[in-house]
Amino acid sequence: DSQRVISMDTEFLRQQRRYGSPRVLLSDNIPLEPPPLYLMEDYVGSAVVVNRTSRRKRFAENKSHRGEYSVCDSESRWVTDKVSAIDIRGHQVTVLGEIK
């Protein structure tokens, strides 16, 4: 395995909860089931638009996490062999293989 192993304190990860995302899961184990499907209807409120000038409000599961971006809206599958990715600012970053 050519991926780097980074040692991180558990308390540090716990403090970084605000960066949590329903689209990203850090785990010691390979997932046993496919990821839940990302349903657009669950993300955007289902209120009926009365006229074209009003907009539907976006639904936020946890209001303290507003401003987060989904990692990937186009795919809903577990990725276990990724070594690099493009972050939300367009920079290429290394994906860590393991966090200890």
Domain ranges of the chain: 1-100
What pLDDT, on a 0 to 100 scale, did the predictor assign at position 43?
A: 44
d(C-alpha 59, C-alpha 45), whole Å: 6
Q: What is the pLDDT of residue 81?
A: 74
Residue burial 22-43, b: 16+ Cβ < 10 Å; e: rest: ebeeeeeeeeeeeeeeeeeeee
CA terminus-to-terminus distance, the chain = 16
pLDDT above 80 (res 83): yes
Give me the pLDDT at residue 40, please. Answer: 43
Mean pLDDT of 15-38: 63
